[in-house]
Structure 1
Amino acid sequence: MDIVFDTYRSSLFTAIELGVFFGSIGVVVAPSMIYAAFSLGITLLSIAFVYLLFNADLLAAAQVLVYIGAINVLIVFAIMLVGPAPLLPSRPLAYRLLCFGAASGLCLPLVFASTEGLWNKTKLEIPGEDEIVQIGIGLFDRFLLPFETVSLLLLVALIGAIWIARARPEMKREMPSQDKPLL
């Protein structure tokens, strides 16, 4: 029975890894910023599934609520408010290959660590109520200032996006008058 469960778990983990991989590739190569934001949502959701697979339900819920529910929605809202980004000029092939090589070089230690079995393969224990209470106390006691600082930073980013969108004259649209038909 353990062999079937391990096979199922490893195939599920491989599918989730593919979701993270293709989602992150979509963030980089998406033709539009809105598609990149949706690909980021797919990547973050796949990471939440990784947390679920390792019995970290609290981290998975935080991933979905904070990163997908708040930050990704804020990114989509800012993109839709500011409007489409100008197209960047195409880079030479040598520059793109150099960037790909640098990014691959940064990922190689993770690839070697995962293939060599350097990760701890013991089963993660489900945290008890005491650990969850300690996380809550730490969040509202020791880490209250960084938590509030991040929320203020996100609020400033949202206000900045609204200010930039209002300052652009091409974003202003005429409202249809009452005497003209809409169609």
Structure 2
Amino acid sequence: MVTHVRAEAQGDERGALLSFLAEQRGGIRRSVLGLTEEQAAARPSASELSLGGLLKHVAEVEQTWIARAKGEPPAVHRDESNWHECFVLTGDETVASQLAYWAEVAAETEAFVRAVSSLDDTFPLPDAPWFPPDERVSVRWLCLHLIRETARHAGHADIIRESLDGASAWDLVAREQAAPA
């Protein structure tokens, strides 16, 4: 669903990639529009996913990938002992705090993608059993991967939100556009 396509998308590959990523972020961001913390934590479908958990996951995954591309450690280290916390709000985390964090991550992503000398610049994939050993990927690959990851979870968010209160993605776009700025 295209709701915003920024002018940079026209003729500029970086702008196009960033616009598509922003569009998918919007689907997830809108999925929590008007919900209480309890509703955002609910798991109304057969899945164990909640909207709050999806929001946290996509923000964390995006930050982790940008950190990898920069050669930095991720903000949150995940392993088998705490992987389950990636999909649930814990402690004092709220939908609002995750939205604010994701906005910071998105700004960092945009700054990084705009600053690299080329989308063909590469960085190593992490040493993990699900990645080929000693493999490198480009910043272009990174952008496409983030779009795919976010879009996949935006679809999950659509199903969860409709299961909660019947609001479709179209309903949420209309609500967002009607909301005072």
Q: If the TM-score is normalised by the length of the shorter chain, which range does it land in?
A: under 0.3
Does 1 or 2 have the higher relative contact order (CA < 8 Å, sep 6+)? 2
- TM-score normalised by the chain length of structure 1: 0.28
- Which protein shows a greater Rg? 1
- State TM-score, norm by structure 2: 0.28
